[in-house]
Amino acid sequence: MSTQDLVPGRRRIVALDVIRGFALCGILLANIQPIANAGAVVISEAPSGHHDGGDAWLGLLVVQRFFPIFSLLFGIGFSLLLRASTDRTTSPRLLLLRRLLALLVIGAAHFLLLWRGDILSTYAVVGILVLLPSTWLPRAVVAGLGGAFLGASLMLGDGRFTLVAGLFLLGTTLVRYGVIDRIEQSTRHPALLGLGLAAAAAPTLWWQAGLQATDPAFHLALTVAGLLLGGTYVCGLLLLLKSPLRQAVQTVFAPLGRMALTNYLTATLLVLATRNILGSPPETWSIRTVLVIAGVILTVQWIWSTLWLRRYHQGPLEWLWRWATWLRRPPLRRESRSASTGGRARGTG
């Protein structure tokens, strides 16, 4: 979830908005059937039990590929907010604790009222137990702990707590070593890293494709492939942002990413409404049906996000989250150009 609007005047890192919006699209696609089966206890991006061609494609390219990206971004956003708020408050960690507690309330409501696959409550708990204490540790120690949590996740087969903790710490490590500040400055580095990740992902995907969901090694293959392919996707997006396609990529994904919390939660409502409209059991939906549902929901959210952000600084739930974080009501509506310039001297549009 984005934190870039939390400190007034802070420069937005467009690449993070784009990556977040892209990840949101993949998470929705992976979660449509689990959400529609709202009574099932599943983690975010749970693997499907189907084995036809469409579901095999979904399992290889989508399931568990975007949840790691979202988790990494949360750790990045947390560390960016800590850094930016240090000069604006004498108690930046207390501010971050309020932010995590507010997210816990939001996630718990989502979990109890709509869908038991909610990930926000997990993010809040892991943030309180892992991210907050890590702010007192040297960055090298944080990096080592991140690797240890990721290793533990692979060994223990845990796709929720240790994996999230490792990705959170990796995200904050990238900020503390200055990588995020330079994220859009290089083409060579994401190209080389992306090639390396893709080369490692290929045999892992082949390994996963040869396993059944009941095989003991399936979860390990799914998680490793998810980390490698998720990283490949991020590197590909960074390269597109350095290409002539930058404006198109930014236009498509940035509005979704800037309202990630609002869009994540409203997607649950839209999927449940779609289930009631269609009436058929979600497990019988074909991959084409899932793709159409995802396309319609994302189109609605993109239009809504684009129009909303023309008039307001943040999405409605992002604004409420910021209010709970700072304990003061932040401005929501953008100033009109005529009000900010004293007239129309700077033109229309």
pLDDT of residue 229: 97
Percent of the chain with pLDDT over 90: 77
Q: Which residues lie below 8 Å from residue 24, measured CB to CB, with a gap of 6+?
A: 66, 70, 256, 257, 260, 263, 264
Q: Read off φ and ψ for residue 305, nearest 5 degrees.
A: -65, -45
The most distant pair of C-alpha atoms in the chain lies apart, rounded to whole Å, by: 68
pLDDT digit string, tens, across residues 81-130: 999 998 888 899 999 999 999 999 999 999 999 999 999 999 999 999 99
pLDDT of residue 336: 60
Q: Which amino acid is at 52?
A: D
CA distances 58 to 32, 50, 343, Å, are 12, 10, 53
Number of helices (H), then strands (E), in the chain: 15, 0
pLDDT digit string, tens, across residues 56-92: 888 889 989 999 999 999 999 999 999 999 888 889 9
Neighbour-count burial for 76-90, b at 16+ CB within 10 Å, e otherwise: bbbbbbbbbbeeeee
In the predicted structure, residue 337 carries a pLDDT above the cut 80: no
Confirm if 75 and 171 have CB atoms less than 8 A apart: yes
d(CA 278, CA 93): 46
Higher pLDDT among residues 342 and 168, named by residue: 168
Alpha-carbon Rg for the chain, nearest whole angstrom, is: 20
In the predicted structure, residue 11 carries a pLDDT above the cut 80: no
Confirm if 17 and 4 have CB atoms less than 8 A apart: yes
DSSP lists the bridge partners of residue 34 as: none
pLDDT digit string, tens, across residues 201-210: 999 999 999 9
d(CA 196, CA 31): 28
d(CA 172, CA 251): 27
**Three-class SS state of 157:** coil
DSSP lists the bridge partners of residue 333 as: 312
Closest among 34, 57, 61 to 45, alpha carbons compared:
34
CA distances 49 to 63, 121, 229, Å, are 12, 25, 21
d(CA 165, CA 133): 12
d(CA 183, CA 187): 9
Question: Stretch 47-58: mean pLDDT, rounded?
Answer: 58
d(CA 206, CA 92): 46
d(CA 113, CA 153): 29
Task: Look up residue 334 and give its two tokens.
Answer: 């953008």
Q: Is the pTM of this model over 0.85?
A: yes
d(CA 244, CA 339): 34
Q: What is the mean pLDDT of the chain?
A: 89
pLDDT digit string, tens, across residues 25-35: 999 999 999 99
pLDDT digit string, tens, across residues 157-194: 766 899 999 999 999 999 999 999 999 898 999 999 99
pLDDT digit string, tens, across residues 292-301: 999 999 999 9
pLDDT of residue 341: 47
